[in-house]
Amino acid sequence: MAKILIITGPEFEDVELLYPYYRLLEEGYSVEVAAPWKKRISGKHGYSVEPDKVLAEVKPEEYIALVIPGGRGPERIRYYARDDAVRIVKHFIENDKPIAAICHGPQLLISANAVKGRRLTSYPGIADDIRAAGGEWIDKPVVVDGNLVTARIPSDIPYWMREFIKLLKGG
Amino acid sequence: MAKILIITGPEFEDVELLYPYYRLLEEGYSVEVAAPWKKRISGKHGYSVEPDKVLAEVKPEEYIALVIPGGRGPERIRYYARDDAVRIVKHFIENDKPIAAICHGPQLLISANAVKGRRLTSYPGIADDIRAAGGEWIDKPVVVDGNLVTARIPSDIPYWMREFIKLLKGG
């Protein structure tokens, strides 16, 4: 069964993690969550998940696609496991595998130097960071640019996942 | 565009409302939320929704299907708008239209006298109520019995929605 990786950290935006997690299971994929450490992490709204993997031990070549939820998770990952996250994101970028990022998720695309010349969206509060890193920030519920599928906020989720699943199934 | 109705009340289980809400939008349906009153209601985890309709004003014949999330919403509905909820649920039962209920959602099926002789599941804490009302309670992630698609807890969501969408699309 094809495996998809979700990377996150404490204080993730709960529904931005739970929706793709359940949605990709619903679609028949195997889904694994990786975080800076193995013990249970909680979202901003109090939902919690037990990570399947520590970021340091992730072999990105095992996965067909990557999902990066928002909330404070991405910044926390920068603090606790930046180099592991950069290594993982670069694998998906360099191999042109699908990446879905929402809200503050694109912060890890910036860390991996992966937004230059790309069209994408994010939580509006980090639009300037996207631009400073050389990306073109677009204010739409979902932006698809090649393997990158990005969205802004939880209410964009239906449009974000619709495009991501289309991409997973070959466009 | 075919419309689907979600009925809920304060302290709903957040992801049991948000997942079907976003999922059915993703699938291209129009989705409306009805609650005992029009002002914004909050889930147990602090997500909030602004109801489109008050339960008293719902015309169930406008909708092709019904979703009943769990949490404390269903019991609150019994307190504030029981007769309206019963009228709505009965319409979907009598016309054999799809109903998805999860967790404490089946409490409203009990109120509408709709579980007698049916196979269904729910949050385990109300299994005895289902049995007392004449239903056969089954401990599985999802139980489909004709137009009724029921599930137990949030982690059943992928299997619950997969079966519900299959039913919406004609089995």
Predicted local confidence at residue B65, as pLDDT: 98
Of A19, A25, A47, the CB nearest to B45: A47
Residue A91 a catalytic site member? no
Q: How many helices (H) and strands (E) does chain B have?
A: 5, 11
d(CA A89, CA A109): 7
Catalytic residue among A76, A91, A97, A104: A104
Average pLDDT for A90-115 = 98
Q: Has domain A3-168 been given CATH number 3.40.50.1950?
A: no
| pLDDT of A1 | 86
pLDDT tens digits, one per residue of A103-142: 999 999 999 999 999 999 999 999 999 999 999 999 999 9
- Give domain limits for chain B: 3-168
pLDDT of residue B171 exceeding 80, the answer is: no
Q: Does A157 touch chain B (CB under 8 A)?
A: yes
The whole-angstrom separation of Cα B77 and Cα A158 is 27
Q: Which of A26, A42, A50 to mutate to test the interface with B (most CBs of B within 10 A)?
A: A26
- Residue B159 contacts A, CB cutoff 8 Å: yes
Nearest CB among B26, B159, B162 relative to A162 is that of B26
| pTM listed for this prediction | 0.95
Name the pLDDT band for B1 (thresholds 50, 70, 90). confident
| Residue tagged active-site, from A17, A49, A65, A103 | A103
Q: Note the pLDDT of residue B123.
A: 97
Q: What confidence score (pLDDT) does residue B160 get?
A: 98
Of A18, A161, A162, the CB nearest to B15: A18
Q: What is the pLDDT of residue B9?
A: 97
Other Cβ atoms less than 10 A from the Cβ of B96: the count is: 10
Tokens 């304060």 identify what position?
B10
* pLDDT score at A18: 98
B161 touching chain A per CB within 8 A: yes
Cβ(B9)–Cβ(B35) below 8 Å: yes
- Best of B1, B11, B16, B22 to disrupt the A interface (most A CBs within 10 Å) is B22
Tell me the average pLDDT across B48-69.
98
Total CB pairs under 8 A between chain A and B? 48
Read off the pLDDT of residues B116-170 as tens digits, 9 standing for 90 and up. Answer: 999 999 999 999 999 999 999 999 999 999 999 999 999 999 999 999 999 999 9
Q: Which two tokens stand for residue B50?
A: 């602004």
Residue matched to tokens 């990105």: A60
Q: What is the mean pLDDT of chain A?
A: 97
Q: What is the ipTM of this complex?
A: 0.93
Render pLDDT for A9-29 as a digit per residue (tens, 0 to 9): 999 999 999 999 999 999 999
